Amino acid sequence: MSVPDYMQCAEDHQTLLVVVQPVGIVSEENFFRIYKRICSVSQISVRDSQRVLYIRYRHHYPPENNEWGDFQTHRKVVGLVTITDCFSAKDWPQTFEKFHMQKEIYGATLYDSRLFVFGLQGEVAEQPRTDVAFYPSYEDCQTVERRVEDFIESLFIVLESKRLDRATDKSGDKVPLLCVPFEKKDFVGLDTDSRHYKKRCQGRMRKHVGDLCLQAGMLQDSLVHYHLSVELLRSVNDFLWLGAALEGLCSASVIYHYPGGTSGKSGSRRFQGGSLPAEAANRHRPGALTTNGINADTSTEIGRAKNCLSPEDIIDKYKEAISYYSKYKNAGVIELEACVKAVRVLAIQKRSMDASEFLQNAVYINLRQLSEEEKIQRYSILSELYELIGFRRKSAFFKRVAAMQCVAPSIAEPGWRACYKLLLETLPGYSLSLDPKDFNKGMHRGWAAVQMRLLHELVYASRRMGNPALSVRHLSFLLQTMLDFLSDQEKKDVTQSLESSTSKCPGTMELITLPDGLTLPPVPLTKLPIVRRVKLLNLPASLRPQKMKSLLGQNVSTKSPFIYSPIIAHSRGEERSKKIDFQWVQGDVCEVQLMVYNPMPFELRVENMGLLTSGVEFESLPAALSLPAESGLYPVTLVGVPQTTGTITVNGYHTTVFGVFSDCLLDSLPGIKTSGSTVEVVPALPRLQISTSLPRSAHSLQPSSGDEVSTHVSVQLYNGEAQQLVITLENIGLEPLEKLEVTSKILTTKEKLYGDFLSWKLEETLAQFPLQPGKVATFTVDIKVKLDFSCQENLLQDLSDDGISVSGFPLCSPFRQVVRPRVESKPANPPEGSKPGDPSHVKALEAVLHFKYSGGPGHAAGYHRSLSLGLRAEVEPSVFFTRVSTLPATSSRQCHLLLDVFNSTERELTVSARSSEELTLHAGECQRMAIQVDKFNFESFPESPGEKAQFANSKQLEEERQEARGLEINSKLGIRWRIPSLKRTGEASVEGLLNQLVLEHLQLAPLQWDVLVDGQPCDCEAAACRVGDPIRLEVRLTNRSPRSVGPFALTVVPYQDHQNGVHNYDLRSAVSFVGSSTFYLDAAQPSSQSACLGALLFLYTGDFFLHIRFHEDSTSKELPPSWFCLPSVHVRALEGRA
């Protein structure tokens, strides 16, 4: 026997072999349609018995295997069913002759045969025949199954007769010697009368009867015969047949222990009637005696206890039988099939290691020279058996050997498709899956070197199949999953092969479906490059949308009234971890930063890299990059434009590497860090771009609030100078600019600033709104720097307090000067300890202009944008006031303000006040100027306790008062400076220079005194009168204080000033009073007046002065002396009329 049946199992020993073959020309489809119906009748119950007959059908069976039918009866073809087409009566004789010729092939062993004829009708078909069945067509053949059952019953009759004939003990009859084909020549010339020969004949016949009993459904009887056969054959050392008897004993025991079968097929045998074969054998059959004379109705317990092998003994007997088979070179097929049967039994017993020993033995069994197809079948069956016992890697090994055998060099037409299919079946054995997601679940499973070899073979097989898309998919998978195990040279080879393949068929993200229905998932190349971190970037500060402030009621519904809610925190925890707290804007370019690195030993070119998003229509703007070999983390920014509003989720990115297009999802990337992937897209907003008339600044301003300033400009001014800043507003977006708000914030806090640094009028700009896309509007900002003009250096100290008296005469020379040596070089950066009043100190003022603007759909949704302009003003000193003092003027309502002015510039400078001429100062020169000013009636601050509480303390209240007074004085003075060579001008402020004493001198006293001569005020000019004419003198008091004052007593004392420091008070002969020289004033209430009258008579011509003195009493002592400032009265007496 040369052709092994790898599908053999132990229960096949109880089956009858029936061959089903076509006669003549029958289509394959029609043949297998009937063959399947015949195979459906695989077991029948014997009439009037509980025995069951099992049938094994084959459509092809080698005739040489039939010669071993006496050795094991289940190998003997006992039935033949033929199928033929015959459409006319003329063809019938020839068809029937072919049927007889087919029977002759298996004629020596056939019990019975049948011929199914399809298509023949008429007289021939109507003749009743037992061995032929006629059917009109393949569709009209309902009785096929019934005919097959009748055929099997006829087989049983013959089988039963043979069993009874062989099982009956016929004393004196000579038992024939049963032989296998290769033994016949060995027994020629043997002594047939010897005891040894007779025992051999009896032992073989007992074994043969046991086979017949097993086929006839008599399990217990077969066990008895097998045991007797083993004893007889062992005694004569007939090892080949002893092995067959032991195998028969094992098969019967397996059938008893495992009624479900050992083949592992879903259609396992089931005994009809729910009874076991062993129990069926207990039924009494008249005339049926066992070989030892025991009647058939004997208790089955005896057979079970003594005859049936235990599960452990079954394997031992199989080993013994196989060892006997191995002694015979011509029994290799029998030995191989016995190993396969034992493995199937051990698989049910879950004894994998023992089964692997049997399989290992089967591998080394040397058969005749096998064909390539037989080799493929052998390795495939070995693979299935190893899979059956759980040796997956061993199974995959033999499956791969079978695959390689399909394309062996000796085959004229290699079967690459079969090779590829078998290679795919080896993948699970090597812990290899074609789904790349399985490689993201932790540590690598399996032997990487073997897996890479297998993947290379899949690539080559798919390429030889003529399927480049499949080859690209496997190459991509190899590069993606085995990258960590590839050497540098292997990486280069694989990528070159991949590029060569993708030049013909680019790699895609589509599923590839194979003809057998297997689908290959897409393989995104997430490791080329490897992404470690993904971060969604906020828009630039100038483009970030900000929510407008709304009423509290509009937000109440969106916030929980509870401080903490565990339900909300639990349900929305994942959403919080992915949602980002900033917004993107519809229509604006948005950015996502990826930190990537190149693991390849060569430069990696990534083309068409863009974002994958969902939730919002998104236009991705692809990028291309080139990463150096084995680069470190490298930042890559991917951009895109959201076209609609809503919530957008960044799911991943897409790339094209080596011709393979990949969609890489963040969820499938191992070890990636992300701060969130979901962001809200708000409606479109306009975009404002600003440009100015000033140059850009090299200094960057950083506001304390953290706002980013997009544009920085700078300007250089002298202290007190003003300049206009023209800002051009251009709408570079796609939405109209409808709303604009401008605010400013001064960043410099250490410098004292007087007045408004920045001022503007927004109405003119808003008149140009709405500003359509592409349109331009202008906005003007007035810059005015007014820092402290005081200086600590007293340059004219030697000129002060020099004894000049201006008590009674006008100040004739208001200007006194001194020249300070010019400073040849000023330090660019003043030292740290320089004083604020240092003439060489350049100060800097910094401020930020905030533009809040909105428009379009974003404005309707309540969003706006902010744009900041940083302004740095470098302030150079212009003039300094080194000292300020006052001198009284001739009028009580005026005084002289003395200012020491220093020119700190390097150019000639002029200074002028509103009521004085220009004063020219050379560079580094200091001069004193006197300005005659009217005294001020300062408005008093509120004194109520409630309003006083607005200030921290009385000191702060006093400072506020002083600042207000300084502002009023400065506005009246109007001091300005001008540099003619530069054509630059500015203001010089005295705010912050005036101390309390100077302020008191400049303030009108609360008690205002007026002296009238003949009804005319006498303050500055001399009053004229005639000698001998009495003149009326009136002293009037106006009470501006909040309290009642008086009464007062005043004495008028006339004198003459000789202009040499001598005053003559002895004028009794020149001036006479009409009445008393003492005046009395009644008490004056707040905001009221009081007056007293008198008269004088001048007897001589000349210039006279009247000095009015107060009488010291308790009332006048309570008030400060500055309240009693009376004007000097100058009277000029002229010649009287003739």
- Could you read off the pLDDT of 693-722 as tens digits, one per residue? 888 877 776 665 556 787 888 999 998 899
Mean pLDDT (whole number) for 756-777 = 90
pLDDT recorded at residue 943? 46
Q: Which residue has the tokens 């001022």?
A: 759
Q: Which of 548-562, 638-652, 1008-1022 has the highest mean pLDDT?
A: 638-652
Separation of CA 629 from chain center: 26
pLDDT band at 277 (very low <50, low <70, confident <90, very high): very low
pLDDT recorded at residue 1101? 85
Q: Between 299 and 754, whose confidence is greater? A: 754
Mean pLDDT (whole number) for 379-393 = 93
179, 238 Cβ separation under 8 angstroms: no
User: Tokens at residue 1008, please?
Assistant: 């205002």
pLDDT band at 1013 (very low <50, low <70, confident <90, very high): confident
Rounded Cα gap, residues 30 and 137, in angstroms: 10
Q: What is the DSSP string of 678-717?
A: EEEEEPP---EEEEESSPBPSSPP--TT-PPPSEEEEEEE
37, 145 Cβ separation under 8 angstroms: yes
pLDDT recorded at residue 557? 40
Q: Which of 365, 372, 361, 431 is nearest to 402 (CA)?
A: 372
| H or E element in which residue 997 lies | helix 996-1002
- Asked if the model's pLDDT at residue 561 lies above 70, the reply is no
- Please state, for a pLDDT cut of 90, what percent of the chain lies above it: 46
Mean pLDDT (whole number) for 844-849 = 88
Residues 21-72: tens digit of each pLDDT: 999 999 999 999 999 999 999 999 988 778 999 999 999 999 888 888 989 9
434, 392 Cβ separation under 8 angstroms: no
Q: Which of 970, 980, 971, 968 is nearest to 790 (CA)?
A: 970
Q: Between 912 and 705, whose confidence is greater? A: 912
Q: What is the DSSP string of 579-628?
A: EEEEEEETTS-EEEEEEEE--SSS-EEEEEEEEEEESS-EEEE-EEEEE-
**Sequence-ordered list of residues with C-beta below 8 angstroms from that of 1055, at least 6 positions apart, any chain:** 1063, 1064, 1065, 1067, 1104, 1105, 1107
Mean pLDDT (the chain) is 82
User: Tokens at residue 1074, please?
Assistant: 């009409």
Q: Which of 491, 487, 457, 507 is nearest to 658 (CA)?
A: 507
- Asked if the model's pLDDT at residue 89 lies above 60, the reply is yes
pLDDT recorded at residue 402? 94
pTM over 0.75, yes/no: no
- Asked if the model's pLDDT at residue 828 lies above 50, the reply is no
Rounded Cα gap, residues 773 and 794, in angstroms: 60
**Can you tell me whether residue 1128 is helix, strand or coil?**
coil
Residues 1067-1103: tens digit of each pLDDT: 888 888 887 778 787 777 787 788 888 888 888 888 8
SS (H, E, C) 355-399: HHHHHHHHHCCCCCCCCHHHHHHHHHHHHHHHHHCCCHHHHHHHH
pLDDT recorded at residue 985? 93
pLDDT recorded at residue 108? 84
Q: Which residue has the tokens 């390539």?
A: 372
Distances in Å between the Cα of 461 and the Cα atoms of 378, 404, 435, 502, 686 are 22, 10, 19, 17, 59
Diameter of the chain measured on Cα atoms: 211
- The rounded radius of gyration (Å) of the Cα atoms in the chain is 63
Positive or negative, the CA dihedral 925, 927, 931, 935 is positive
- Asked if the model's pLDDT at residue 574 lies above 60, the reply is no
Distances in Å between the Cα of 419 and the Cα atoms of 383, 424, 438, 639, 1126 are 14, 9, 25, 46, 129
pLDDT band at 398 (very low <50, low <70, confident <90, very high): very high
Mean pLDDT (whole number) for 196-214 = 93
- Asked if the model's pLDDT at residue 271 lies above 60, the reply is no
DSSP letter, residue 14: G
pLDDT band at 316 (very low <50, low <70, confident <90, very high): very high
Rounded Cα gap, residues 407 and 202, in angstroms: 51
Mean pLDDT (whole number) for 455-473 = 94
Q: Which of 685, 675, 773 is nearest to 729 (CA)?
A: 773
pLDDT recorded at residue 700? 72
- Please state, for a pLDDT cut of 70, what percent of the chain lies above it: 84
Q: For the chain, first and last CA: distance in Å?
A: 184
Phi-psi region of 605 (alpha: psi -120 to 50; beta: other; left: phi over 0): beta
For the ranges 79-88, 119-128, 715-724, 986-995, which has the lowest average pLDDT? Answer: 986-995
pLDDT band at 123 (very low <50, low <70, confident <90, very high): confident
Positive or negative, the CA dihedral 923, 924, 926, 929 is positive
pLDDT recorded at residue 206? 93
Rounded Cα gap, residues 658 and 1052, in angstroms: 116
For the ranges 355-369, 782-796, 1037-1051, which has the lowest average pLDDT? Answer: 782-796
pLDDT band at 818 (very low <50, low <70, confident <90, very high): very low
pLDDT recorded at residue 953? 65
